[in-house]
């Protein structure tokens, strides 16, 4: 799939994806990137680089924490872990997101409302 076919991430949704990815345990940057890529079936256009400023922002907000660990290829890598606050945030943000999707879909395709 070429870059042009991939969709751009909606503003503000990257944080949600990052938090969701970390639900399954600590992960380093590359792992998070591949994980998102894989679950999105490669349809999302994300510069891997753009994850890092976002991760720092989340860490500063206390939603995730980080520590050095060792990667698959035996290299030092920074592992990110979801904090309790992050978990709570993920729940509320997910709920908000679902509501939004529902509302938007209802408006866009009134006939198919569940």
Partner 1 sequence: MKIPRWLRWRSDAELNEEIQAHLELEIQSNLDRGLSPEQARRAALRRFGNATLVRERARESDPFFSLETFVREVRYALRNLLRVPGFTLAASATLALAIGASTAIFTVTYRVLLNPLPYPDSARVLMLDFGNPTANLPSGFRSISSQQYFQYVDRVRTLESVAAYQVDDLTISGAGAPERIRVSRVTPSLTAVLGISPIVGRAFAEDESVPGAPAVAIISYGLWTSRYGGNPAILGQSVNLDGAPTEIVGVMPQSFAFPEAGIDAWVPLALTRAAVSPGYLFTAVARLQDAATITDARAELTRLTNELEAEQPGNGYRQFVSTAVTLIEGTVGRVSTMLWMLLASVGLLWLVACANVANLFLVRADTRQREVAVRRALGAGRGSVARLFLAESALLSVAGGAAGLGLAVAATRLLVAFGPASLPRLEEVRVDAVVLVFAGALTALTGLVFGTLPLLRSVWTAPSLQEAGRTNTGSRRRHRARHALMASQIALALVLLVASGLLMRSFQRLLAVDPGFDPRSTLTFQVGLPPVDYPGRNRVVTFHHALLDRIAALPGVTTVSATTCLPLSPEAFCFGNTLAIEGRPMQPGRFPRPVAQRAVAAGYFAAMGMRLLRGRDLDRADIDRGEPVVVVDEAMVAAYFGDEDPIGRRVAFGYQSNNGPWRTIVGVVQNTVTTGLIELNPIPKLYLPMSTSGGPDLPVSGLVGPDISVMSYVVRSSTPPLGLVAAVRRTIDEVDTTVAIARIETLQQGVDRAAGQAAFTTVLLAAAATVALLLGLVGIYSVVSYIVSQRIGEIGVRLALGAEPGGVTAMIVRQGGIVVLAGILAGLAAAVAGSRLIASLLYDVNPRDPTVFTATTVTLFGVAMLACLLPARRAARVSPVEALRAD
E runs forming strands in 1-114: 7-8, 27-28, 44-45, 64-70, 76-82
- 33, 36, 64, 90: which one binds partner 1 (CB under 8 A): 33
* Alpha carbon distance 66, 61 (integer Å): 12
Residue 18: closest CA among 47, 54, 62, 42: 54
81 scored as a contact of partner 1 (CB under 8 A): no
CB nearer to partner 1: pick between 6 and 97:
6
Mark 82-111 with x for binding to partner 1 (rule: CB under 8 A) and - for no binding.
------------------------------
Task: Specify whether the CB–CB gap between 70 and 77 falls below 8 A.
Answer: yes
Among the residue ranges 10-18, 41-49, 83-91, 96-104, the one whose residues contact partner 1 (CB under 8 A): 41-49
Interacting residue ranges for partner 1, rule: CB under 8 A: 28-31, 33-34, 47-50, 52-53, 56-57, 60, 71-73, 75-78
């Amino acid at each position: 799939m070429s870059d042009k076919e991939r969709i751009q991430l909606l503003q503000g949704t990257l944080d949600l994806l990052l938090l969701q990815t970390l639900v399954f345990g600590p992960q380093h940057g590359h792992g998070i990137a591949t994980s998102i890529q894989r679950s999105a079936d490669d349809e999302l256009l994300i510069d891997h680089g753009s994850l890092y400023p976002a991760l720092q922002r989340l860490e500063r907000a206390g939603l995730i924490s980080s520590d050095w660990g060792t990667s698959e290829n035996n290299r030092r890598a920074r592992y990110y872990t979801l904090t309790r606050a992050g978990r709570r945030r993920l729940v509320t943000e997910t709920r908000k997101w679902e509501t939004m999707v529902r509302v938007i879909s209802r408006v866009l395709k009134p006939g198919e409302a569940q």
